[in-house]
Amino acid sequence: MLSEIFISALLVIGGVFGLVGSYGLVKLRDAMQRLHAPTKATTVGIGGILCASIAIAWLERGVASTHELLITLFLFVTAPVTANFIAKAYMHRNIEAASLPQTETSCGWAGYAPPPGENEPPSGDKSN
């Protein structure tokens, strides 16, 4: 009984966060704002469901299940990369280099200026 309540609570938490994340994706104005919404779903949202899954296997069937940990691991590795790339792509397409604040180092913004230690290549040169 207690375990059922516990599992249900996990499922509800996960579900609510997933819903909030999805709603945010629709509701928020532009891509940079929308980036925040799915983070709710991928962390607590999916996390709740996965915890519930582990709990069911352990408490109800008495089996130690570790698949879920692997899924969590994959999510934790991939989600930041995805978000990072979406942000970069958005900036690349929509934000002028001039409107960005100065960086505190000698190098410019990634994606706008060449990486440290590399000079600006002469433009239009394509001869390898």
Partner 1 sequence: MNNASLLPIMALLPFLGALVPGLMIRAGRTACATFTAVPTILALVMLGLCAPDVFRGEVLQIEFEWLPALGLSVSFFLDGLGLLFAGMILFVGLLITLYARFYLSGDDPAGQFFTYLLLFQGAMLGIVLSNNILLLLIFWELTSLSSFLLIGYWTHLPEGRQGARMALTVTGMGGLSMIAGMLILGNIAGSYELTDILAAGDAIKSSDYYLPALLLILGGAFTKSAQFPFHFWLPHAMAAPTPVSAYLHSATMVKAGVFLMARMWPALAGTDAWFYAVGTVGLITMVLGALIALFKDDLKALLAFSTVSHLGLLTMMLGFGTEAAAIGAVFHIINHLTFKAALFMTAGIVDHEAHTRDIKRLGGLRHLMPITFVIAVIAGLSMAGIPLFNGFLSKELMLEEAAHTDWRGSHYAVPILATLGALLSVAYSFRFISHTFFGPVRDDYPAKPHDPNFGMWAAPGLLVVLVLLIGIFPQATVGPLVELAATAVVGHELHHWHDLKIWHGVTPALIMSAIAVLGGLILLALHRPLERLWNAVPRPEAKVIFDHVVGWAVAGSDWIAHKTHNGAISRYLAIFVVSTLALGAIAASGGGLAPATRALLPVPPLAWIGFLLLVVAAIAVVLLHRERFLSLILISIVGLGVSGGFVYLSAPDLALTQISVETVTIMLMLLALHFLPKSTPAESGIFRRVRDGAIALGVGGAVASLTFAFLLRDFSSISEFHLTQSKVGGGGTNVVNVILVDFRGYDTFGEIIVLGIAGLIIYALMHALLDGPAARRLRNWEFTQERSRDRHPMLMVIATRVMLPMTAMVGVYIFLRGHNEPGGGFVAGLIIAIALLMQYMASGFGWAQERQRIEYHAMIGWGVAIAGLTGTAAWLFGKPFLTSSFGYFHIPPIEEFELATAMAFDLGVFLTVLGAVMLMLYSLSRIARYAGETVNTAAMDYDPSQGIRETTEEER
- Interface residues with partner 1 (CB under 8 A) are 70, 73-74, 77-78, 80-81, 84-85, 88, 92, 110-118, 126-128
CB of residue 33 to partner 1, shortest distance in Å: 21
- The nearest distance, CB 114 to partner 1, in angstroms, is 6
Nearer to partner 1, 3 or 94 (CB): 94
- Tokens representing 55 are 């709990």
Identify which of 49, 53, 28, 51 has the alpha carbon closest to the alpha carbon of residue 38: 28
Q: Which amino acid is at 31?
A: A
Closest CA to 109 of 84, 91, 83, 86: 91
Shortest CB 113 distance to partner 1, Å: 6
